[in-house]
């Protein structure tokens, strides 16, 4: 999502969420749900873990962005190295490799302290540029603002002023606004809604005061208002009026990073954070009904399956034996984005546009899910193939125990598949004009040509008798060309 790739493969039978994440690249869509908002995690949420583990946890939530903080232990293998602008070059390279492999991007860095000397301040900005960070979160002194603004403009990097609770310098939005007045639009605020609530400031009112200067957020919902000891709760269940907060950001045309900073239940917070993401997604669909949504409901009530044949726990769908799982809804033109993980010798598949789930092989299209890692030559039955019809252009399958990122797009007769950052299928169903025969002259097992297959149907996950796992299943309707 890493570090657990070295564990024995058998461990992934009981810990599927701990595999390495699938790569995200331009071949895969960003599944942000509201315009140019970027939803991610502040690594401080996982301060009891290393930065590499924080990356894994962020990726397991299907989030593409992370905000790092200075001082976090780097990895289980390098506990003496701390993340930050003083990291040696070798550690920086490992961070970038980890992020690339996990498909997570480093969007922000903070909360940092700017040193008083210009050279020290410049070092932080140069580190941000090197690591691809576009926002530095900080609480600068008034006398530092000129040099901070100078480097913001020189490097094109934003400085977001963060607020701690009352009695800290920037606890009130008015102070932040006064500091930003007359300065570059690269200088604004990182609105910590939890600290506002502890200080007696309603988050919506704080956002209204800072309209035009909100660069990023540490978004929180708390179990109480006006108490310093109030703690984080699942979004929408506390006193922040989270729906109104998101609506206000939408009204302002906010474009930036929304960091989940969940400072409660430190060791076991992931299920609660996943519910925050679900809340965010549901509210986002009110603003953009044609946006991304979750393919599966948490209780699988929107699916057809035999009881107990599949489990859906902590965001991971797992085969349990007893038959295929099908969506009740039929889909026509769509993009389906997901991750899957196989065991050794796994043979399975993702069906789509299936007209009759009782005759899925002859009325649907199957993308093969298979343990193909390491094969030099791949064919029509290997991972990423359109089964028995078209082989992937290259073998992009990862080893058993690692997550694979996959995107399936269907628009009219065109079908494409991207696997781990590479487009491996570019198919026009209209070229399959003969029963039992592919355009290259090879045989297939289908009694009807693919050009005559239904263009709308159900999505299914095959039970072929071997372990297989899926997560972060997101779908979006596609407009026809």
What string of DSSP letters covers 65-78? EEEE-TT-EEETTE
Count of structural domains, the chain: 2
Q: Is residue 157 a part of any domain in this protein?
A: yes
Residues in Cβ contact with 41 at an 8 Å cutoff, skipping those fewer than 6 apart: 54, 57, 58, 61, 63, 65, 66, 67, 259, 260, 261, 273
3-state secondary structure of 179: helix
The tokens of 280 are what? 């965010």
Which segments of 253-352 does DSSP mark as H helices, in order?
A: 270-287
CB neighbour class for 275 (10 Å; exposed up to 12, middle 13-18, buried from 19): middle
**Bridge partner list, 337:** 407, 474
pLDDT score of 17 = 39
| Whether the Cβ atoms of residue 2 and residue 403 lie closer than 8 Å to each other | no
Q: What is the CATH number of the domain that holds 179?
A: 3.20.20.150
**pTM as predicted:** 0.89
The tokens of 105 are what? 């991007």
What CA–CA distance (Å, rounded) separates 379 from 385? 7
Q: Is residue 20 a part of any domain in this protein?
A: no
Residues 55 and 135 both lie in one domain: yes
Q: Is residue 276 a part of any domain in this protein?
A: yes
Q: Which of 247, 264, 291 is the last residue of a domain?
A: 291
Residues 129 and 206 both lie in one domain: yes
Which domain does 93 fall in, by range? 32-291
Q: Is residue 179 a part of any domain in this protein?
A: yes
Residues 353 and 409 both lie in one domain: yes
Which segments of 217-322 does DSSP mark as H helices, in order?
A: 242-252, 270-287
Cis peptide preceding 111, ω within 30 of 0: yes
Residues 167 and 258 both lie in one domain: yes
Q: Is residue 15 a part of any domain in this protein?
A: no
Q: Which of 243, 270, 291 is the last residue of a domain?
A: 291
Residues 453 and 365 both lie in one domain: yes
Residues 110 and 142 both lie in one domain: yes
pLDDT score of 25 = 54
Residues 332 and 472 both lie in one domain: yes
Q: Is residue 327 a part of any domain in this protein?
A: yes
Q: Which of 291, 314, 334 is the last residue of a domain?
A: 291
Residues 365 and 268 both lie in one domain: no
3-state secondary structure of 30: coil
Residues 366 and 280 both lie in one domain: no
Q: Is residue 10 a part of any domain in this protein?
A: no
Per-10-residue mean pLDDT of the chain, 481 residues long, equals 28 38 62 80 98 97 96 96 97 96 94 96 98 98 97 98 97 98 98 98 98 98 97 98 97 96 98 96 90 94 97 96 97 97 96 97 97 96 98 97 96 97 96 97 96 96 97 88 54
Residues 286 and 309 both lie in one domain: no
What CA–CA distance (Å, rounded) separates 324 from 120? 59
Residues 340 and 276 both lie in one domain: no
Residues 266 and 322 both lie in one domain: no
End-to-end CA distance of the chain: 34
Q: What is the CATH number of the domain that holds 421?
A: 2.60.120.560
Q: Is residue 27 a part of any domain in this protein?
A: no
Dihedral pair phi/psi, residue 316, rounded to 5°:
-115, 125
């Amino acid at each position: 999502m890493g570090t657990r790739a070295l564990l024995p493969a058998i461990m992934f039978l009981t810990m599927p969420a701990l595999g390495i994440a699938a790569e995200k690249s331009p071949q895969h869509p960003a599944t942000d749900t509201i315009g140019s908002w970027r939803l991610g995690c502040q690594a401080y949420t996982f301060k009891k873990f290393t930065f590499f583990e924080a990356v894994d946890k962020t990726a397991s939530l299907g989030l593409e962005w992370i905000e790092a903080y200075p001082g976090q232990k780097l990895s289980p293998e390098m506990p003496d190295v701390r993340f930050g602008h003083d990291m040696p070059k070798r550690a920086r390279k490992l961070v970038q490799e980890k992020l690339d492999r996990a498909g997570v991007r480093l969007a922000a860095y903070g909360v940092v302290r700017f040193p008083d000397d210009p050279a020290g301040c410049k070092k932080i900005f140069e580190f941000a540029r090197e690591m691809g960070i576009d926002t530095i979160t900080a609480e600068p002194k008034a006398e530092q603002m000129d040099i901070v603004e100078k480097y913001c403009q020189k490097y094109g990097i934003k400085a977001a002023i963060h607020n701690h609770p009352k009695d800290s310098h920037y606890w009130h939005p008015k102070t932040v606004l006064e500091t930003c007045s007359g300065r570059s639009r690269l200088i604004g605020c990182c609105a910590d809604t939890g600290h506002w609530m502890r200080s007696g400031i309603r988050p919506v009112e704080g956002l209204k005061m800072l309209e035009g200067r909100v660069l990023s957020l540490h978004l929180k919902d708390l179990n109480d208002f006006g108490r310093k000891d109030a703690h984080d709760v699942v979004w929408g269940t506390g006193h922040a009026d989270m729906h109104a907060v998101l609506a206000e950001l939408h009204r302002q045309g906010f474009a930036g990073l929304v960091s989940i900073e969940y400072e409660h239940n430190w060791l076991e917070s992931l299920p609660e954070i996943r519910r925050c993401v679900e809340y965010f997604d549901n509210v986002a669909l009110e603003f953009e009904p044609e946006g991304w949504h979750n393919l599966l409901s948490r209780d699988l009530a929107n699916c057809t399956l035999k009881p107990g044949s599949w489990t859906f726990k902590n965001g991971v769908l797992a085969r349990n034996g007893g038959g295929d799982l099908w969506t009740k809804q039929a889909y026509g033109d769509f993009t389906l984005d997901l991750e899957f993980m196989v065991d050794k010798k796994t043979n399975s598949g993702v069906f789509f546009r299936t007209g009759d789930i009782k005759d899925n092989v002859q009325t649907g299209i199957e993308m093969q899910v298979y343990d193909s890692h390491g094969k030099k030559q791949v064919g029509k039955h290997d991972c990423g193939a359109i089964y028995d019809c078209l082989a992937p252009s290259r073998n992009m399958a990862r080893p058993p125990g690692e997550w694979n990122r996959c995107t399936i797009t269907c628009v009219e007769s065109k079908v494409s598949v991207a696997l781990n950052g590479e487009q491996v299928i570019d198919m026009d169903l209209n070229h399959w004009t003969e029963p039992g025969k592919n355009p290259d002259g090879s045989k297939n097992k289908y009694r009807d040509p693919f050009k005559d297959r239904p263009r709308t149907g159900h999505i299914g996950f095959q039970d072929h008798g071997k372990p297989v796992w899926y997560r972060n299943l997101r779908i979006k309707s596609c407009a026809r060309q």
